[in-house]
Every structure is written in C-alpha cells, then in structure tokens.
Amino acid sequence: MITGTIDLSARSCCDTPRGKTRPSSHTIVFTWATAGGSISGCVANTIYRRPHGRLVWDGGGRVTSATGTLRRYRPRGMGIAGDTRTSTPDQVRIILASGVAASNC
C-alpha cells in the first residue's frame, strides 16, 4: 500500500532530473506485507514525464519499520523507481531498492 500525494498531473513532455523546472517532490509512505513479515517506510518521490507516454517515479527515503524475516532492512536507506503509463494512470510498476543512502522524508 502507498499513501501520500502522487502527482500524475498532465504536463508537456519531457521532465529530467537536471531540468530547469523540476517537478515537485512529495513524501509518500509505503507498507509491503508478506507471509514472513512487513516493511514500512517513506520516500521523497518525484514523478517525471518522459517520452512514449510514461511517468517515471524516482526518489530516496528510508525504512522506518520492519518485522519478521524483513527486520534486517531496518534502518536502511530505501529508493523507489517505477513507471506509470499515461494511458493507464491507475496502474503502476514499483521497484523498492535497499542499499542506498538513507535520506529524510
């Protein structure tokens, strides 16, 4: 589950991390539960408009809680990556990665 402000607003193509007008960053909170435990955290997420009808998610954050077999991930840095097709804004492919420097969110 992901909660927080998700900015999928319409805008012209194409945003880049080095662009003059960087899209705003929003803090999102996530929880992922498995049979072996759960992991929760926060990410300062930015969504960039890219070519070919894609919105790309990018940001860094940290794990705030982990239980069971996932407890080894607390307190680690966490990154988010993913994409949303502009044709299907209610679907997203998200990748959470550990091993990045922890950042405040």
Confidence of residue 84 (pLDDT cuts 50, 70, 90): very high
What's the whole-model pTM score? Answer: 0.75
78 belongs to a structural domain: yes
Question: Mind listing the pLDDT tens digit for each residue in 33-52?
Answer: 999 999 999 999 988 888 88
Phi, psi of 69 (to 5 degrees): -70, -10
Most confident of 5-9, 12-16, 45-49, 94-98: 45-49
**93 is in which domain, residue-wise?**
2-6+23-98
18 belongs to a structural domain: no
Split into its structural domains, the chain has a count of: 1
13 belongs to a structural domain: no
11 belongs to a structural domain: no
Task: Please list, residue by residue across 56-88, b when 16 or more beta carbons sit within 10 angstroms of its beta carbon and e when fewer do.
Answer: bbbbbbbbbebeeebeebeebbbbbebbbeeee
85 belongs to a structural domain: yes
104 belongs to a structural domain: no
73 belongs to a structural domain: yes
DSSP 31-64: EEEETTEEEEEEEEEEEEEETTTEEEEEEEEEEE
Question: Mind listing the pLDDT tens digit for each residue in 66-79?
Answer: 999 999 988 889 88
